Structure 1
Amino acid sequence: MFQVRKAADRGHRQHGWLDTWHSFSFGDYHNPAAMGFHTLRVINDDRVAPGEGFGMHGHRDMEILTYVLEGELEHKDSLGHGEVLRPGEVQRMTAGRGIRHSEFNPSPTTPVHLYQIWLLPREPGLEPSYDQRPFPRADQHGRWRLIASPDGRDGSLTIQQDALLWATNLAPGDEVVAALDPQRAAWLQVLRGTVAVGDQELSPGDALAIENESALPVRASDDAELLLFDLP
């Protein structure tokens, strides 16, 4: 079963320095029909203006992944980490029993476009931790590249949940097929470009909720970038 979540149906907030779209209820956007999907709780599509960002704030009991499409994002946290996240790199933060961090666009001229993702953890009260590593886009061209997993396999980030996150970049005419477990669920998020799944055409910001399926064939109409979540 496929269910489309169109980009325009997401929650939208314009804060001047922040243009943000929420796939699921978040902040002052509340939609009882969009409280998450299985263990996937938040997908925020954010554009942060030059020289702006999120001041120091706290999280707990979430697995947080940050994926930058354009620009740079400077991260500092209460564990002592200070990094700059760029396209081709992914950040993972286990908030656990409590962590504080800030996220800032250090460029004076260029906006940063990022997706921030929250997954529910396997249990509350975990030890907070942080990791960031490169995932060159060339390694995910025309194939699904594993980005995050519960055991850190194949060089992926380790997350505290029985979920897998895959990424791919496709050229026009490329087709990839993901094998799915029909006893689990999946969520396909289009970051860039236009793709087709069967007779469904998906554009940037669109998503597909998937249940009771054993395969996901995706065909690109133009240059595209996608994320695929395999969820319990």
Structure 2
Amino acid sequence: MTTEGTTARIVRSADRKHWWDGAIDSWQSFPATGNFDLASAAHGLLLVHNEDTVAPGEGFDRHHHRNTEIVTWVLDGVLRHEDSVGNTGVLRPGVVQRMSAGSGVLHSERNDNGYTSRQPLRVVQMWIPPSTPDTAPSYEERDVSDALAGGDLVVVASGRESHAGRAAVTLGNRDAALHVARPAAGQPITVPDAPYVHVFLARGEATTGGDELRQGDAVRLTGGGSHRITATAPSEILIWEMHSAAE
């Protein structure tokens, strides 16, 4: 689909890569598990975009990252983060987390609800490269629930100079920003104008360019230009604005 110079590719939920180990059910917009060349399948700067459902008490044991900006967004449940720099965090819906792995960091992530709770964790984890490699590892989180209440797009994470003072947390990539909206039924969202944009419908229903979107669907926009998405039910939408591509 091409509109006003923008090429739009819809990726349906069921067409994502799927990985499951009995405790973690992962739907991956880009092949992540076992992929050592993430840039080859990236859209813009977006290397990884995984929607994971984690069983109670389970999670990702301590593992290593380097030179990766990791943004975590909880949809349902509670996530506990611990890392080798001494940061800890308990993330719930409405709280954005950014971890800059920089020169290297170990961390673990688990469903903070115990085995007997029967409450799964549903979380989206997203990776982009940093603008400057091998910086000191750092961590930031912020509750943006109040800002999202109006249904409009909120800049939840950004390294863009134009978002200085507005982004909830700061990314270590000057060409990228993550926006989130929770629109009501009938509410339109204007997508940021950028060479690369990734729109993900985390919940609800919407339309864009005459196409219907359901939970888990994504739209990959290339080439810039205006674009709009309209919720047809109460929804949650994650939009990456990117002004360069991964190398």
SS of the residue 1:39 aligns to: coil
C-alpha deviations, 1:127-173, integer Å up to 9, x for none? 11001110115535321111111155314211011111110001111
Offset at residue 34 of structure 1 (A)? 7.0
* CA distance, structure 2, for counterparts of residue 231 and residue 47 of structure 1: 27
1:192 aligns to 2:198 (yes or no): no
Residues 34 and 195 from structure 1, CA distance in 2 versus in 1: closer, same or farther, beyond 3 angstroms? farther
Kept after mapping to 2: 8 A contact 1:25/1:36: no
Which of 19, 23, 44 lines up with 2:25 in the alignment? 19
Q: Which residue of 1 aligns with 2:184?
A: 171
SS of the residue 1:215 aligns to: coil
Runs of 5+ consecutive residues of structure 2 not aligned to the other structure: 1-6
Note the 1:55-74 alignment, pairs <5 A: 55-74=61-80
1:206 aligns to 2:212 (yes or no): no
Residues 225 and 198 from structure 1, CA distance in 2 versus in 1: closer, same or farther, beyond 3 angstroms? same
Q: Which residue of 2 aligns with 1:87?
A: 93
Kept after mapping to 2: 8 A contact 1:25/1:31: no
Runs of 4+ in 1 over 6 A off after TM superposition: 29-34
C-alpha deviations, 1:97-124, integer Å up to 9, x for none? 1000010112121111000000111132
Runs of 5+ consecutive residues of structure 1 not aligned to the other structure: none
Letter in 1 for 2:23: W
* CA distance, structure 1, for counterparts of residue 38 and residue 99 of structure 2: 27
Q: TM-score w.r.t. structure 1 length?
A: 0.93
Offset at residue 213 of structure 1 (A)? 3.2
Kept after mapping to 2: 8 A contact 1:137/1:169: no
Aligned residues: CA RMSD: 1.9
C-alpha deviations, 1:58-102, integer Å up to 9, x for none? 100110000001100000001101111111101100001100001
Q: Which residue of 1 aligns with 2:128?
A: 119
Residues 32 and 166 from structure 1, CA distance in 2 versus in 1: closer, same or farther, beyond 3 angstroms? closer
How many residue pairs end up in the alignment? 230
Residues 160 and 88 from structure 1, CA distance in 2 versus in 1: closer, same or farther, beyond 3 angstroms? same
Kept after mapping to 2: 8 A contact 1:24/1:31: no
Q: Which residue of 2 aligns with 1:40?
A: 46
Offset at residue 179 of structure 1 (A)? 4.1
Q: Which residue of 1 aligns with 2:142?
A: 133
Residues 197 and 31 from structure 1, CA distance in 2 versus in 1: closer, same or farther, beyond 3 angstroms? farther
Q: TM-score w.r.t. structure 2 length?
A: 0.88
* CA distance, structure 1, for counterparts of residue 74 and residue 55 of structure 2: 14
1:6 aligns to 2:19 (yes or no): no
* CA distance, structure 2, for counterparts of residue 45 and residue 20 of structure 1: 6
Residues 33 and 136 from structure 1, CA distance in 2 versus in 1: closer, same or farther, beyond 3 angstroms? closer
* CA distance, structure 2, for counterparts of residue 39 and residue 50 of structure 1: 32
